[in-house]
Amino acid sequence: MRMIVAAAITGVGILAFSPASAATDVSASQEACTFTWFNIDNRDVLTAVSEGKTLAKDEKWLPSMQVLRTGVAQVTGVRLDKPQTAIASLGKRVGQSLTPIDQTYPSKGRFGETSFSGAGRYVIYQMANGLVDADCVVECGGKRLGSGHATSWQYGDSRGAAQCGVKTGDETRIADMALQLAC
C-alpha cells in the first residue's frame, strides 16, 4: 500500500522550480553526501489514453493515444555532480527502483495492434507506476549543501485496457479515470 507523507504537491502538476529560483551554486562529490527526504508523494499516474472504440469480437485495432501528462526524471534546486545519486537515495527511501535522470514518460511506440476476445467498446491507457515527487536536504561531509526536489518513477510504464460500462476493480483508479475520459 502506498502512503503519501505530508503532500507538497497541489493540483495535478509536478512541482518544478521556476527558472527564477536559483539552484545552489555549490557542487560537491556525492560520495560523502546524505539526503534527507520529506514531502514524499508516491502514486500511479494516468499518462495517456486512447479514444473509446467499439470493436467486434477479435477485430484488430491500432489505437492512437492522447498524452495527458508528461514528465522527466530530474533533481532541481540543488546542483549535484551526480544527480543520479539523489534518485538512487530516493529509490531506497521509497523501496523501489526508480528511472534514471533525464528519462521521460510516457514512453512512445509501445502500442501495436490490439484485439479483444469479446465485442464491446474499449479504451487503452498508459500509466507511470510509482511516480515519486519529494523534497530533500543535502548534506555533504557534514556540511549542508542545500535543498532540492526530485521526480522519478518506477522504471518502465504500464499499459492497460478497460471496457466501457464495465467495473474495473482497479484499486489505483487509473483504469476508472481512463474510462471517464474516453467513454
pLDDT of 23 strictly over 50: no
SS3 152: strand
Distance CA(31)–CA(7), nearest Å, equals: 29
For residue 99, CA distances in Å to 6, 72, 86 come to 23, 9, 12
R_g over Cα of the chain: 19
Q: Which three cell numbers stand for residue 51?
A: 479514444
Comparing 8-12, 21-25, 56-60, 143-147, the range with the smallest average pLDDT is: 8-12
Question: What value does the mean pLDDT of the chain take?
Answer: 81
**In the structure, what pLDDT confidence band is assigned to residue 120 with cuts at 50, 70 and 90?**
very high
pLDDT of 25: 39
pLDDT of 144: 92
What is the separation, in whole angstroms, between the first and last Cα of the chain? Answer: 29
Interval 93-103 mean pLDDT? 94
Q: Is 137 exposed, middle or buried (0-12, 13-18, 19+ CB in 10 A)?
A: middle
Instruction: Output the pTM of the full model.
Output: 0.74
Which residue carries 484488430 as its cell?
Answer: 60
Distance CA(101)–CA(36), nearest Å, equals: 19
**What are the beta bridge partners of residue 78?**
24
pLDDT of 113: 79
pLDDT of 5 strictly over 70: no
Q: Which three cell numbers stand for residue 19?
A: 527558472
pLDDT of 50: 93
Q: Choose the most confident range, by mean pLDDT, from 14-28, 46-60, 109-123.
A: 46-60
pLDDT of 149 strictly over 90: yes
DSSP tag of 169: -
